[in-house]
A and B are shown apart, each in its own frame.
Chain A
Amino acid sequence: MAIELALAGADIDLILANQQGLIAIGAGLAVGLTGLGSAIAEKDIGSAAVGAFTEKEELFGKGLIMTVIPETIVIFGFVIAIMMLL
């Protein structure tokens, strides 16, 4: 009887540990995947923006804005990750 209870306790610990692990993986995916998404979008926009403002310097401000627009995605991912971990 006592042994069975101990085993059950261990199981619950295991399950809880598993859940924690899955949450950590989920948080990692939230940041990692959104980061990749932002990066893919920014690399195209960024190179186009650099091209544009070497031709016309006034476009720097607009180029910068266009480049950082996809950054929002990874910010969302990061916020979600933090909320998952809490």
Chain B
Amino acid sequence: MLKPKQMSKVLLTGHKDVLEPTIETLHDLHALHIEEYVGEDYFHIGTPLPGAEDDSKKLLKLRSIASFLGIKKSYPEPINARQLSSELEGKLETLGGVVSRKLERKSQIETDLKDVQTGMNEIEAFSGVPVNFELCSGYETLHVFAGTVRKGADVRAGLKGITDEYQFFAGDTGLFILAVPVKHMEQVTDLLAEYEFGEVKIPAISGTPDDLISELKSRQDSLTKDIESLSSEIDSVKAEYEEFILASEELLSIETQKKEAPLVFATSEHTFVIDGWIPDDEFETVRSRVEEATGNRVYVAKAEEPVDEANVPIEYDNPKIVKPMEAIMNLYARPRYNEIDPTTFVFIAFPLFYGMILGDIGYALILLGISLYGRSKLHGEGWNSLFTVLIYCNIVTLFFGILYAEFLGFPLAGIHGHPGLIPGWETIELMPGLGGEHITYPIHRTHLVTTLLVTTLLIGVIHINVGLIAGFRNVLAKHGMKAAVLEKIAWIVLQVGIFLLLFGMMGVVASMVPGAVVFALAVIMLVAGEGGTAIMEIPSILSNTLSYSRLLAVGLSSIGIATAVNVMAGMMFDSGGIFIVVAAIIFILGHALNTALSIIAPGLHALRLQYVEFFTKFYEGGGKIYNPFGYNRIYTED
């Protein structure tokens, strides 16, 4: 539970004749993490089994079809693999034909549409000009200008001073076409330059702009219609073949995986050697199954040589209830082989911290509802872990909610004459707390700040020291007793020193001398263990511990937001009339916002306490992922 699964390094050696049944069996068992063969001495890398190339071509085709059709992962009933395999070839051929025709048509339409768009852009500027483009060029005695001038400039008035012989047509967009005799061209050019003339190219086609535009528009409409009908056709193909595509993609992936497996094996002319890792408890099964499948012609043995820890693939070994927490571990890093796997600690501390921070019956019930619904609707391992973690967290939140008696920021029980939400429920004083406060049931966090603050710091001290003890165990296994004591126990001694000093200051202990002595001893141990830089690290134990005050602080800020929403809604509600609706809107929106924050804020802070304050005391991480040879079937079944 506190260690990753124990692994054995395994060698499988046999004749190439039995390579195929060996691969088949290993794939079914899904237990061997294969170490890739990279060396090039006597052995060389194996060649894929026959048919591998064909399968990968089919797979490539299938994947491009799937991406064209936009097929998303869904979770239908699995299809029988044998039956699928027999009809795959023919069905893929038909599907490929259908899809490639559609693809061609689609790209043709898209090109046409683009052409129309370009034409449109050219002509649109001329809209309203009543001239056929054909008549604008090909003259010896006439020069035609087309373009725009500065706003407010009157071209015709300017032309009066030059000539009366001209034709001027203006369009809707301010663009004009002007034809003048060639002899006046220079003068007109100068005049237009004064008006900031911007030339526009006249399209080399026949027809008046308005006719052309309406023609292009109708063409655009018909193309758009074509594309719509095509996409509905594509959708029907998608609906028809979706299951087939998903299932055969899986089938072919499995086939190529098997057939290409020899690429990571070491082979000689007649033999193969597979090198890899198997969890200890599965070794016997693998050996007997492989020997059975190959008629004892493959030799399976554990490697005796000492193994390099860094190479061992890591598989968590946690009870089912703790498993979802592995997602939180993976977000940080997988444990190393000889390290304590802290998943179980996280399983306890993360929901506890989350619940302590949030502690509200209302939010707990809302979030429990959301996560239970989400878990039943969204599949996939990631979602499943996320929602399960959220469920754990909110069960604890519910517990703390009952302890704090808070519902959406309202106190359920009355205190000091302020009535709670449940009439008649009054807060009971249990015992005196710190700083003149009284510990009560239910606990009112806003009335018990000092006591709760000290409680959170004590939780911090416990959490940090669990981390240090785990660190002691890790260093002990790696570097021996001396290093473990100097690096980890020294921190515990340091805390004892700090506590003795505090007690001395408060007068609980008569003198501060014992505290100072223990503190000095701890500093000497730290410097001996970690060098002079350890002195710089000493304040971190304080800031780490104080950091646990967030268990109270973040919760108070959440209460603050909830109370603010409640007060605003209450004020609106008291105004009556239409304001009752406004009050309802404020109440719903405000608490929706706070619910969203209730996942993020407590989640992130509880996570941070694990990662920053806890893990830094002992955890290195960085183990390799155990990735056994095999496949998790979703769409097919054997």
B608: which of A58, A65, A79 is its contact (CB, 8 Å)? A65
B546/A76 in contact, CB under 8 A: yes
A64/B607 in contact, CB under 8 A: yes
Q: Is there a chain B Cβ closer than 8 Å to A82's Cβ?
A: yes
A75/B554 in contact, CB under 8 A: yes
B612/A68 in contact, CB under 8 A: yes
CB of B416 to closest CB in A, whole Å: 15
Residues in B whose Cβ lies below 8 Å from that of A68: 604-605, 608, 612
A75/B549 in contact, CB under 8 A: yes
Q: Is there a chain A Cβ closer than 8 Å to B45's Cβ?
A: no
> On chain A, which size bracket covers the interface?
10 to 19
Please report the C-alpha to C-alpha distance between residue A58 and residue B556 in the assembled complex, in whole angstroms: 33
Which residues in window 40-86 of A have CB below 8 A to B? Answer: 58, 60-62, 64-65, 68-69, 71-72, 75-76, 78-79, 82-83, 86
Please report the C-alpha to C-alpha distance between residue A10 and residue B633 in the assembled complex, in whole angstroms: 82
B333/A72 in contact, CB under 8 A: no
Residues in A whose Cβ lies below 8 Å from that of B554: 75
Given A61-B333, A65-B608, are A72 and B552 also a contact pair (CB < 8 Å)? Answer: no
CB of B437 to closest CB in A, whole Å: 9
Residues in B whose Cβ lies below 8 Å from that of A78: 553, 556-557
Please report the C-alpha to C-alpha distance between residue A61 and residue B608 in the assembled complex, in whole angstroms: 10
A76/B549 in contact, CB under 8 A: yes
Q: Is there a chain A Cβ closer than 8 Å to B611's Cβ?
A: yes
Q: Binding site of B, secondary structure by majority: helix, strand, loop or mixed?
A: helix
Which residues in window 553-582 of B have CB below 8 A to A? Answer: 553-554, 556-557
Q: How many A-B residue pairs have CB under 8 A?
A: 51
Q: Binding site of A, secondary structure by majority: helix, strand, loop or mixed?
A: helix
Please report the C-alpha to C-alpha distance between residue A21 and residue B550 in the assembled complex, in whole angstroms: 26
CB of A2 to closest CB in B, whole Å: 34
Given A75-B547, A79-B549, are A86 and B612 also a contact pair (CB < 8 Å)? Answer: no
B549/A65 in contact, CB under 8 A: no
A86/B449 in contact, CB under 8 A: yes
Q: Is there a chain A Cβ closer than 8 Å to B331's Cβ?
A: yes
Which residues in window 284-331 of B have CB below 8 A to A? Answer: 331
Given A75-B549, A78-B557, A79-B553, are A58 and B333 also a contact pair (CB < 8 Å)? Answer: yes
Q: Is there a chain A Cβ closer than 8 Å to B376's Cβ?
A: no
Q: Is there a chain A Cβ closer than 8 Å to B412's Cβ?
A: no
Please report the C-alpha to C-alpha distance between residue A58 and residue B622 in the assembled complex, in whole angstroms: 10
Residues in A whose Cβ lies below 8 Å from that of B543: 72
A79/B332 in contact, CB under 8 A: no
- Write out, one digit per residue, whether chain B residues 523-558 have a CB within 8 A of any chain A CB (1) or not (0): 000000000000000000001001101101110110
B333/A65 in contact, CB under 8 A: no
CB of A29 to closest CB in B, whole Å: 17
- Write out, one digit per residue, whether chain B residues 319-351 have a CB within 8 A of any chain A CB (1) or not (0): 000000000000111000000000000000000
18 contacts between A and B (CB under 8 A): A58-B333, A61-B331, A61-B332, A62-B333, A64-B607, A65-B332, A68-B604, A71-B550, A71-B605, A75-B547, A75-B549, A75-B550, A75-B553, A75-B554, A78-B556, A79-B549, A79-B552, A86-B449
Extra contacts, 12 of them, besides A71-B608, A72-B550, A79-B553 (Cβ < 8 A), are A61-B333, A62-B333, A64-B607, A64-B608, A64-B611, A65-B608, A75-B547, A75-B549, A75-B553, A76-B549, A79-B549, A79-B552
